[in-house]
Structure 1
């Protein structure tokens, strides 16, 4: 089985080695009420019979001028959020030559499907994939580079985004030469900037206890993880925003945290430390599909690395408290794998505990080698992980791990 898998993976990697990732050229503008006008050109260079994108139905799409040999059909879609349109492009003669697909559309940036993070609020904008404000690959795995020019941003808005960010009087230019599935951006009033090792941190109050813990542990966790995985691939930008919901999320070299009522003057350090270490770990653990079993290789892996950081920085007692809480919280979690994307308890509770048990079974040196080897893979899937685990920790360890994840 592993031999067949290896041949399949080798074929896939060989077939895509010379195909550049999709590139998005985005020209967008907002009016004061939050209406978005956008002109997005997606350049594809991989020979495919068809390619599908999702866009919210709140936007009105202008008629498309399609390249020769390309047709498009559309249908309603209700996943991963509701009220989407799925645009399916069909290529009569698939070619690796660049093909440009152009979307021109307009409509309100606000949506009721915002995961508790309104796109526009009095402080400014917070945009990410949940708002479905740009054409998103229908597989939610299409990673792309981007050049974006976004107008209609007032001069007092501080912009936090990935890549090279150039603020203009009326907008921002973003050049991102590394791939991601999202085009996230925070543009808010009152944000102040602090620097840590490999990290830029933004908050409205850098003197708060919570912000201080985040900056401190962003620095120390980045240094800790670099001893294992090597230098951070990119400068990580972290923005702590204020909204009622404590939603946090990470993209490549980009993290958004929420104050979420957690800025009490007596807040202990361990919570923010554990949280920010998890987000920094995503610099190396971000490549698995968010819609399949393999998503544990994003969240459970990052949470396991956060546990490692807690052990190294705060000691065995604090780590044991974390383990005990996970054991209690995940006693009825069910299997991590075998049913599609794991749920929150499986991702952040049971999955990391299984990885911690694996650490104890094969020993820390072998576990380090396994995680370092896996982090360097261009694709993160469970079969690839099991292949490396078999080679490093032995077939029995791989069988135990696979059984534990499915039990």
Structure 2
């Protein structure tokens, strides 16, 4: 594996009296072939002895002299995707925040590690964390605010992103004053906009059955979850894009769905309803570490809540079919916890089934109290979940749940 030679990070220390989340200042420029020129300044506001970032090795970084007392080491990294470089900055003393790290680099935006969703396609751009196109905290849970000016976007591209989005003739300005681990963006031709309670929806054809189901059940799920957890923190922007992959993903107040060729007249309504309810559920279930066994509190919890929505909206027959499918697919899943980050079957199959069984064991009112208490926690870990479960349903139920998750 190659180690990128040359470094483009310059550090400037300035005084600060208050810690705040890291802030990214992104200036990026794409050409029609997808070549990227990027100038990214990361401002750290927390004193620390060192800090690491990941960036794809397909980018060439410009060298820059580091100030006295600061050293940097580089090493190849293969997680969360392959062919990354880890840059670790070491400070002789825990540095007084804030500290500015500047990355200057060039390279091709497309990568083979793209979850079958190329960043540049004939219809435009789709950018998210799998492309590793900006420096990402090596823990994959460093959350930051961002100001981004992105050039090289044709005037006919409709941009969907988080925060305050202002289209210019040749690009877009994004100002996001809330934190997230990513800078996701869709910029594609022909996107139309629809609005409903809790959601702004963008798609190429809003008249298809699939688009209609997405809008209908995004609103329905938002209202259903709000009745339990309180108002959505922010309206969710959804972009339905065309690609071969059926991949869908959620960030704070932002969801991308795939048409995936599934907009025929025979599409069952429950499928997009369950899918979009899961993504809307991430408004409350997305805080746990994506690299640890606690990640079930992101995906299994959101999937359990989507099952609740299906039950409430489509009835006992549909949820019974959904449960049977999960049981069949999870027969050889292995334990959800005890081995690091769970795999897909454990996250979307076995984990939600265990939560459903817990619901039956302690009763729906107790389960609601548990999920409400957990959704309002600022940090999501298994011990915090077990603490609430013990307080609501007793130590025996907490022991049963943890054993089931580790068996």
- Normalised to the residue count of structure 2, the TM-score between the two structures is 0.94
Q: What is the rounded CA distance, in whole Å, between the counterparts of 1:77 and 1:201 in structure 2?
A: 36
Q: Contact conserved, 1:192 with 1:206, CA < 8 A, in 2?
A: yes
- 1:67 to partner: Cα distance: 4.7
Q: Which runs of 5+ in 2 are unaligned?
A: 1-17
* Aligned residue in 1 for 2:302: 302
Residue 230 of structure 1 pairs with residue 221 of structure 2? no
Q: Contact conserved, 2:241 with 2:256, CA < 8 A, in 1?
A: yes
Matches within 5 A, 1:206-225: 206-225=206-225
Matches within 5 A, 1:32-111: 32-111=32-111
Aligned residues: 390
- 1:352 to partner: Cα distance: 0.5
* Aligned residue in 1 for 2:3: none
- 1:70 to partner: Cα distance: 2.3
Q: What is the rounded CA distance, in whole Å, between the counterparts of 1:32 and 1:289 in structure 2?
A: 36
* Aligned residue in 1 for 2:316: 316
Question: Which moved further from structure 2: 60-69 or 177-186?
Answer: 60-69
Structure 1 runs (4+) deviating above 6 angstroms are: none
* Aligned residue in 1 for 2:19: 19
Once the two structures are superposed, residues 157-198 of structure 1 have per-residue CA deviations (whole angstroms, 9 ceiling, x without a partner) of 000101111111110011111111111000000110101111
* Aligned residue in 2 for 1:362: 362
* Aligned residue in 2 for 1:138: 138
Q: What is the rounded CA distance, in whole Å, between the counterparts of 1:214 and 1:181 in structure 2?
A: 25
Q: What is the rounded CA distance, in whole Å, between the counterparts of 2:228 and 2:326 in structure 1?
A: 25
Q: Contact conserved, 1:22 with 1:143, CA < 8 A, in 2?
A: yes
Structure 1 residues 25 and 260: alpha-carbon distance in aligned structure 2, compared to 1, 3 A threshold:
same
Once the two structures are superposed, residues 244-290 of structure 1 have per-residue CA deviations (whole angstroms, 9 ceiling, x without a partner) of 11111111111111111211111110000000000000000000111
Q: SS where residue 379 of structure 1 aligns?
A: coil
Q: What is the rounded CA distance, in whole Å, between the counterparts of 1:79 and 1:131 in structure 2?
A: 13
Q: SS where residue 205 of structure 1 aligns?
A: coil
Question: Which moved further from structure 2: 69-78 or 262-271?
Answer: 69-78
* Aligned residue in 2 for 1:243: 243
Q: Contact conserved, 2:285 with 2:301, CA < 8 A, in 1?
A: yes
Q: What is the rounded CA distance, in whole Å, between the counterparts of 1:67 and 1:361 in structure 2?
A: 60
Residue 195 of structure 1 pairs with residue 160 of structure 2? no
Once the two structures are superposed, residues 179-224 of structure 1 have per-residue CA deviations (whole angstroms, 9 ceiling, x without a partner) of 1111100000011010111111110000000000000000011000
Once the two structures are superposed, residues 87-119 of structure 1 have per-residue CA deviations (whole angstroms, 9 ceiling, x without a partner) of 101112213421000000011101111110000
Question: Which moved further from structure 2: 79-88 or 69-78?
Answer: 69-78
* Aligned residue in 2 for 1:14: none
* Aligned residue in 2 for 1:177: 177
Q: What is the rounded CA distance, in whole Å, between the counterparts of 2:68 and 2:288 in structure 1?
A: 34
Structure 1 residues 67 and 228: alpha-carbon distance in aligned structure 2, compared to 1, 3 A threshold:
farther
Q: Contact conserved, 1:67 with 1:101, CA < 8 A, in 2?
A: no
* Aligned residue in 1 for 2:339: 339
Q: What is the rounded CA distance, in whole Å, between the counterparts of 2:404 and 2:64 in structure 1?
A: 50
Q: What is the rounded CA distance, in whole Å, between the counterparts of 2:392 and 2:114 in structure 1?
A: 43
Q: Which runs of 5+ in 1 are unaligned?
A: 1-17
Q: Contact conserved, 1:67 with 1:99, CA < 8 A, in 2?
A: no
Structure 1 residues 312 and 67: alpha-carbon distance in aligned structure 2, compared to 1, 3 A threshold:
farther
Q: What is the rounded CA distance, in whole Å, between the counterparts of 1:96 and 1:352 in structure 2?
A: 44
